[in-house]
Amino acid sequence: MKNTIKLFALILMSLLFLACSQDDSTTLVEETFTDADGNVYNTITIGNQVWASENLKTTTFNDGTPITEYTFATFGNNWNNLNDQTSLFQWADTSDFNNAVDEELPPRYYAAMYNYFALESGKLAPEGWRIPSEADFRELESFLAANGQNGNEATALKSETGWVESSGNGNGGSIFNALPNGYVSALGSSIFPGGICTFATSNLINTGGQSIDSQRRILVQLFDEPTILFTDNAIQIGAGVRLIKE
């Protein structure tokens, strides 16, 4: 009888330990969604938000319209041409210039980078999802700060491997797993893959002019600092997209 009681107590203690060890506010969700190309994405819950577990890879709008792929051979440096109004994407460069990873990365590893017209089309995300706002990322930042990552929010969002030494890997403080996709310059070239992560937000700032190039976009960047960078940039800059659920 005593042995039975001891065994029951041990089982109860083990269950309590597991319950206390699991953080229900940061979880990989079994729910998935699919983009217009048929790419399937897992979802993650962090606090009250549900995010895609990786960056967007679609090359087709949600109405079935193809997004034009940018190559320098075809477009030259016309990535920054605001008069053309062509929605463009390019695959983030996976060249490992700094030997941050041991193996060769597949071409679509960092997912797609989109230009201004693709981002502003309103047709990138499947139903029920959207491009996050600055406020969405601020909420994510606040959650991390309140849950053991104050002052290290960017480090918590980064993947734990694959970053150049000067920027630093993540610390495993979340399951966001942000990869260093770099960004696309106004001239269409890939900048610092392996060293910086750049997410587009839906927020545009008007500097006071009437023309389209008077706008600037808020970008979220993870770089060589432990905190998240919120920067306003020329709208010609291309960036990746991490969708958030409506």
Do residues 168 and 209 make contact, with C-beta atoms less than 8 angstroms apart? Answer: no
Query: Any idea which of 15-19, 65-69, 112-116, 223-227 has the lowest mean pLDDT?
Result: 15-19
Is residue 96's pLDDT more than 60? yes
Is residue 175's pLDDT more than 60? yes
Query: Any idea which of 19-23, 73-77, 117-121, 160-164 has the lowest mean pLDDT?
Result: 19-23
Q: Determine the average pLDDT of the residues in 90-104.
A: 84
Helix (H, G, I), strand (E, B) or coil at 147: helix
Q: Which residue has the higher pLDDT, 23 or 212?
A: 212
pLDDT at 7: 39
- Sign (positive or negative) of CA dihedral 150, 155, 158, 161: negative
Q: Tokens representing 184?
A: 């696309």
- What digits encode the pLDDT tens for the residues 35-91? 999 999 999 999 999 999 999 999 999 999 999 999 999 999 899 999 999 999 999
Query: Any idea which of 6-20, 46-60, 101-115, 151-165 has the lowest mean pLDDT?
Result: 6-20
Q: How many C-beta atoms surround the C-beta of residue 55 within 10 A?
A: 24
Backbone angles phi, psi at 220, to 5 degrees: -105, 125
Do residues 61 and 70 make contact, with C-beta atoms less than 8 angstroms apart? Answer: no
Q: Which pairs from 133-137 meet CB under 8 Å and 24+ separation?
A: 133/201, 133/202, 133/203, 134/201, 134/203, 134/218, 134/220, 134/230, 136/49, 136/201, 136/244, 137/199, 137/201, 137/220, 137/228, 137/230
Instruction: Enumerate the domain spans of the chain.
Output: 24-245
Strand order in the sheet with 88-91: 68-69, 88-91, 112-114
pTM for the full model? 0.88
pLDDT at 24: 52
pLDDT at 21: 32
pLDDT at 27: 78
Instruction: Give the mean pLDDT of the chain.
Output: 90
Do residues 169 and 152 make contact, with C-beta atoms less than 8 angstroms apart? Answer: no
How would you class 95 by CB atoms within 10 Å of its CB: exposed for 0-12, middle for 13-18, buried for 19 or more?
Answer: exposed
* C-alpha–C-alpha distance, residues 77 and 81, integer Å: 8
Q: Tokens representing 213?
A: 């190039």
How would you class 133 by CB atoms within 10 Å of its CB: exposed for 0-12, middle for 13-18, buried for 19 or more?
Answer: middle
